[in-house]
Amino acid sequence: IVCLLESVFIKIVFIFQFISFIRFLQQFVFIIQSFLQRRRRQFWRRRRFRELVGALIPDPTPVFCGEYEIA
């Protein structure tokens, strides 16, 4: 039972680290975007890129948590 609790705890910690890593990536991408915004004034491309990033980044978390709940 102790081993099982330890493995569950490790998985929970790992998931939280993963989520915080994704948030860090979002901030990093936002910084890059603001940097590009100063360099270039291409609104359409940047908006499309932001939508793409917004569509891609939130998705991994539920799938990841689901995989770890099953495992």
What is the C-alpha to C-alpha distance for residues 14 and 68, in angstroms, rounded to an integer? 10
- Given this model, what pLDDT does residue 1 score? 67
Which residue range is the domain that position 56 belongs to? 2-70
Alpha-carbon dihedral sign for residues 56, 61, 67, 71: positive
Q: Render 21-63 in DSSP notation, one character per residue.
A: HHHHHHHHHHHHHHHHHHH---HHHHHHHHHHHHHHSSTHHHH
What's the total number of domains in the chain?
A: 1
pLDDT (tens digit, 9 = 90+) per residue, 45-69? Answer: 556 666 666 665 554 444 444 444 4
Model confidence pTM above 0.75? no
Higher-scoring residue by pLDDT: 22, 37: 22
Q: Which amino acid appears at position 22 of this protein?
A: I
Structure confidence at residue 14 (pLDDT): 92
Distance CA 35, CA 29 (A): 10
pLDDT over 80 (residue 11) = yes
